[in-house]
Amino acid sequence: MADGDAQRVPLYLRIRRHVQLAAAFLVNARFLIDLRGVCFPVLNCWACPTAGVACPLGALQDSMPALRASLLAPLYILGTMLAASALIGRAMCGWLCPFGLVQDLLGRLRRRHWRLPRWAGYFKYVTLVGLALIVPYLTWEPWFCKLCPQGALQGSIFQPIVQPQLREALGGWWVLKIGILVAFLVSFVLIRRPFCHAFCPLGAIFSLCNGVSFIRMHYDRDKCTDCMWCVRECPAGIDPRRDLGSNVCVSCMECAKCPFGAIRVTTALARAQVSSGLGSEEAEQ
């Protein structure tokens, strides 16, 4: 941002890490306030000893027996996710998700990162439909939870510590979960937000509204100098010039710090439209 034309970065874009830390603390502050009836739309395992809110994915999978037995749709869970994603898209992933924070922090350990191909972003829909919907519907077992690295990080490690009687039940499945967690933690250092990009079913749900949510991003091709600043800085490892508001964008809004003001945060009420795609010339109406 040493350029003379550097834009002044708004305060709200400078406090993302603080918001992430505060959110991670608050959803795990059962000792302060117990809101386990509330599905807070982030990936935060409710098996964690300190979890103060319900995991929407865990609740969605646990609702499958009721759906199968009585066709009672989990309206509360689905409505919560739909309302949240319609209002702020995937900003939950970029600003509030504790697992996103873990990925961001580990990603800072290395300067250069590998990038996942864009098509890998569609794999999270396979995870959503397969592991979080169809298989739990057929087997009445929360199969995504059984493999979830966030559950391993928060529950598998801490529950046996605070409840020693659980240690007798640790076995091969626990070892597998810890192995998955370790593999993901290593990948977080090497690749930017790989779990959000290709695996998170919750991110898959939120990404459906990412381009049409109330809060959205605007790319101004005319102001862009192709300096690649946004590509280097993007915590999700995408090219914001092309993938802004797409299913792989986590709406962290880091690219809105663009020195040339080519990318900015806007709302659906603004007269400018969301632009996604190199070379698109979407002028302000």
Give me the helix-helix angle, 98-107 and 16-26, nearest 10°: 130
CB of 33 or CB of 66, closer to another protein: 66
Q: Does 283 bind another protein (CB under 8 A)?
A: no
Residue 98 interacting with another protein (CB under 8 A): no
Determine phi and psi for 263, rounding to 5 degrees: -125, 135
Is 176 a binding residue for another protein by CB under 8 A? The answer is yes
| 187 token code pair | 């990948």
74/201 with CB nearer another protein: 74
Please tell me what DSSP assigns to residue 172. H
Of 13, 26, 78, 190, the one binding another protein (CB under 8 A) is 78
Alpha-carbon span 261 to 236, nearest angstrom: 20
Please, what is the minimum distance in Å from the beta carbon of residue 165 to another protein?
11
Closer to another protein by Cβ: residue 70 or 111: 70
Site map 7..46 versus another protein, x via CB under 8 A: -----------------------------xxxx-----xx
Single out the residue of 127, 80, 97 nearest to residue 21, CA to CA: 97
Residue placing its CB nearer to another protein in the complex, 64 or 236: 64
d(CA 218, CA 105): 26
Q: Give ∠ CA 65-59-200 in degrees, rounded to 5.
A: 115
**Sites for another protein among residues 200-229 (CB under 8 A):** 209, 211-214
Judged by CB, which is closer to another protein: 3, or 34? Answer: 34
DSSP type of residue 255? G
Q: Residue 71 interacts with another protein (CB under 8 A)?
A: no
Q: Which residues contact 63 (CB under 8 A, 6 or more apart)?
A: 72, 74, 77
Tell which positions 236-265 bind another protein, by CB under 8 A: none
Give least dist CB 225 to another protein, A.
Answer: 28
Q: What is residue 31's three-state secondary structure? A: coil
Q: Is residue 282 part of the contact set for another protein (CB under 8 A)? A: no
Q: Does 268 bind another protein (CB under 8 A)?
A: yes
User: If residue 182 lies in a helix (H) or strand (E), which one and from where to where?
Assistant: helix 172-190
> Are 188 and 107 in contact, with CB atoms under 8 Å apart?
yes
Tell me if 164 contacts another protein by CB under 8 A: no
Q: What are phi and psi of 236, to 5 degrees?
A: -95, 0
Range in contact with another protein (rule: CB under 8 A) among 16-24, 55-63, 186-194, 255-263 = 55-63
Which of 122, 101, 111, 119 lies closest to 203 in space, CA to CA?
A: 122
Site for another protein, rule CB under 8 A: 36-39, 45-47, 51, 53-55, 58-59, 62-63, 66, 72, 74-87, 141-142, 145-146, 148, 151-152, 155-156, 159-160, 166, 169-178, 209, 211-214, 268, 273
